[in-house]
């Protein structure tokens, strides 16, 4: 199984990719995480892309393709989170998979209204110790004394309201083209991402069981 998770920032792509990895042993491949790792390591690529990232803009396609394509093991089970985000990326992905003799099993679209994802993203915090993601209201970071996770709890540089609004603008510009692309291939399934985390996982698992349209 080779799966894509599509959807706006804050729809829960990374959380669901993580859960698919725990439940079904999928390798989660997140282009956002790859970009953050490059920036933290201060690589030449990281320096080239950081100004796009901080503003909520898309990083140029060539840089993303350079990061992601070498990681797509033909025999593996993987779930792509946050890629493709443009039609050019989708076509480059198809061409790379075709060269390796493999195809995509499903593209899952996590759908949620803008106002919901804005409040999710602006309240998002992550632990520098464990990497776990929290929300200041819905799932607050634990009390320091509880010691389950000592933090410190940080906000991602692009989790500001300005950056998220810019990301949503870009998302809406590209999303219908991408969903149309995968619908045309008969592999698109849409899931309501407003539900609870376990309910969304259930809906994804159901979608994976449903035969693809031909």
Binding site for ligand AMP (CB under 6 A): 9, 31-32, 35, 52-53, 56-59, 64, 82-85, 89, 158, 167
Burial class (CB in 10 A: 0-12, 13-18, 19+), 35: buried
- What's the min distance (Å) between Cβ of 61 and ligand AMP? 7
- Whichever of 121 and 204 has its CB closer to ligand AMP, that residue is 121
- As a whole number of angstroms, the distance between CA 146 and CA 163 comes to 33
- As a whole number of angstroms, the distance between CA 52 and CA 167 comes to 11
- What's the min distance (Å) between Cβ of 9 and ligand AMP? 4
- Whichever of 59 and 109 has its CB closer to ligand AMP, that residue is 59
CA atoms within 13 A on the CB side of 7: 31
- Whichever of 87 and 150 has its CB closer to ligand AMP, that residue is 87
- What's the min distance (Å) between Cβ of 141 and ligand AMP? 19
- As a whole number of angstroms, the distance between CA 10 and CA 121 comes to 5
- Whichever of 3 and 147 has its CB closer to ligand AMP, that residue is 3
- What's the min distance (Å) between Cβ of 90 and ligand AMP? 10
- Give me the phi and psi of 4, to 5 degrees please: -115, 140
- What's the min distance (Å) between Cβ of 52 and ligand AMP? 5
- Whichever of 162 and 206 has its CB closer to ligand AMP, that residue is 162
Give, in degrees to the nearest 5, the angle at Cα 75 between 84 and 197: 50
CA atoms within 13 A on the CB side of 4: 26
């Amino acid at each position: 199984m080779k799966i894509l998770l599509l959807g706006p920032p804050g729809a829960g792509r990374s959380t669901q990719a993580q859960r698919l990895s725990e439940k079904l042993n999928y390798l989660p491949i997140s282009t956002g995480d790859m970009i953050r790792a490059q920036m933290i390591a201060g690589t030449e690529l990281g320096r080239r892309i950081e100004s796009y990232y901080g503003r909520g803009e898309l990083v140029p396609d060539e840089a993303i393709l350079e990061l992601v394509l070498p990681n797509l093991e033909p025999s593996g089970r993987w779930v792509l989170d946050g890629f493709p985000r443009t039609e050019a990326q989708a076509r480059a992905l198809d061409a790379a998979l075709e060269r390796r003799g493999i195809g995509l099993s499903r593209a899952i679209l996590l759908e949620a209204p803008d106002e919901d994802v804005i409040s999710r993203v602006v309240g998002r915090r992550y632990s520098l110790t464990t990497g776990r993601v929290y929300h200041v209201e819905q799932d607050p970071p634990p009390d320091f004394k509880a010691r389950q996770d000592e933090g410190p709890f940080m906000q991602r540089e692009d989790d500001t309201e300005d950056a998220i609004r810019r990301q949503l603008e870009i998302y809406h510009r590209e999303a219908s083209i991408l969903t149309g692309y995968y619908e045309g291939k008969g592999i698109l399934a849409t899931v309501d991402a407003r539900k609870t985390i376990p309910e969304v996982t259930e809906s994804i698992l159901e979608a994976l069981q449903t035969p693809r349209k031909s």
